Amino acid sequence: MSLIKLTPEESLIQQARLKVCQTNECKKYVKFTMTCKPWPIGCGCFLPAKTRIMGAKCPDDYWVAMSEHEVVDSAYTNAVESLGELENE
């Protein structure tokens, strides 16, 4: 159980950030420890925690820090895009 309760929008952002780290998009993810490779190669952070902090950013710019307004705006944009994709199916 998490001590930091995320809004639904923040949860979507966190999941998307973590997915970027876990995929081949970033070559610095260490699956066994769920961390980014240690500095100076990567940031060395425990990514399930870092990706939950909306004000945090990836030092390689795979994802950016976001304000509360940007989180809501991003979630709204993604929802609208998803609805458009469903209508086109």
Parse the chain into domains and list their residue ranges: 8-88
pLDDT digit string (tens) for 1-16?
456 788 888 888 999 9
Task: Report which DSSP code applies to 9.
Answer: H
**29 membership: H or E segment, kind and range:** strand 29-30
Of 69, 48, 52, the closest CA to residue 6 belongs to: 52
Structure tokens that stand for 38 in this block: 């240690």
pLDDT digit string (tens) for 7-64?
888 888 999 999 999 987 788 999 999 999 998 888 999 999 999 999 999 999 999 9
- What predicted TM-score, i.e. pTM, was given to this entire model? 0.76
Task: Report which DSSP code applies to 54.
Answer: T
